[in-house]
Amino acid sequence: MSELISSIRTFGSLIKFSHTVFALPFAMISLVLASYDVPFALIFGEKLLWIVLAMVGARSAAMGFNRVVDADYDKNNPRTSMREIPAGKISVQTAWIFISIASVLFVFSAWKLNELCFYLSPVALAVIFFYSLTKRFTWAAHLFLGLGIGLAPVGAWLAITGEFDWVPVLLGFAVTVWIAGFDIIYACQDVNFDREVSLKSIPVRFGIEHSLLFARMLHGIMVLIMISVGLLVPSGWIYFAGMITLVILLTIEHRIVNPKDLSKINIAFFHLNSAISVVLFFFILADRLIS
């Protein structure tokens, strides 16, 4: 039993399972907003299980793929040299098996949701896999990461309604610029290594100071998009109280990271961004139930 638990923890660490909190709450936000058009019972029924499994499968496959294709870079980067593959805790072959299983879980879950989700599932996999290659040829790799995760609220909406709408598309854009913004901040700590090995990023291309300004701009765009979403649906004052809270959390995030002190990047990346997604979900859910 102890070996099983240890293996689960190792694979969970490989894919950073805890980071699912970045995307899952936005998928749930999409479901809450979809409930203005479909019955609440439909949203929180069997489909919810398959939506969660689809997200877990997609993200696990994407992270596993990222760890495999970046294994050589991770091995030579002091910050990442102890990740599971370069440290020898998981072999590349085992990682590929894991990626395959996760991909099958995603496609199967999409099939259980509806035909549209099933037909689009290979496209979604292609997008989230492609991100891991972009840092080799474009400094805009952060936006591709955001796009991959931004598919979550769109997919959740399609799973429930079976059709596209501006609300999930805007939510997807909000997630895209939010993720890209804090990934730029996170990439600042690897700027010297990335330059040495010719990996591309916004910090490598424009420098840390300008990159942090760019991240602020993207997060400002996120706030504007989320306000637009609130204007498109019959939201109430609780929704917009959530937007004020969003601005406060983003301001704190950008105050604790500056070009001369990157020591608190992990606090900004892990703690504050996790709080942003979860807090927004509860504000929007409360608005739907109370307003």
Residues 141-161 pLDDT 10s: 999 999 999 999 999 999 999
User: In the predicted model, what is the mean pLDDT of the chain?
Assistant: 90
3-state secondary structure of 80: coil
Residue 208 has a pLDDT of: 94
Name every residue whose Cβ is closer than 8 Å to that of residue 98 and which is 6 or more positions away in sequence.
11, 14, 60, 64, 90
pLDDT band at 10 (very low <50, low <70, confident <90, very high): low
Residues 258-280 have a mean pLDDT of 80
CATH number assigned to the domain covering 2-290: 1.10.357.140
**Contact of 188 with 142, CB cutoff 8 Å:** no
- What is the spatial distance between Cα 93 and Cα 36, in angstroms, rounded to a whole number? 46
pLDDT in tens, 69-126: 999 999 999 988 888 898 888 999 999 999 999 999 999 999 999 999 999 999 999 9
Closest CA to 284 of 239, 248, 245, 224: 239
Cα dist from 219 to 12, 118, 182, 215, 266, whole Å: 29, 32, 8, 6, 18
Residue 4 has a pLDDT of: 47
Residue 247 has pLDDT above 90, yes or no: yes
Residues 184-204 have a mean pLDDT of 95
Question: What share of the chain has pLDDT > 90, as a percent?
Answer: 74
| DSSP3 helix / strand / coil % (the chain, rounded to 5) | 80, 0, 20
Domain range summary for the chain, segments of one domain joined by +: 2-290
Closest CA to 22 of 135, 176, 167, 133: 176
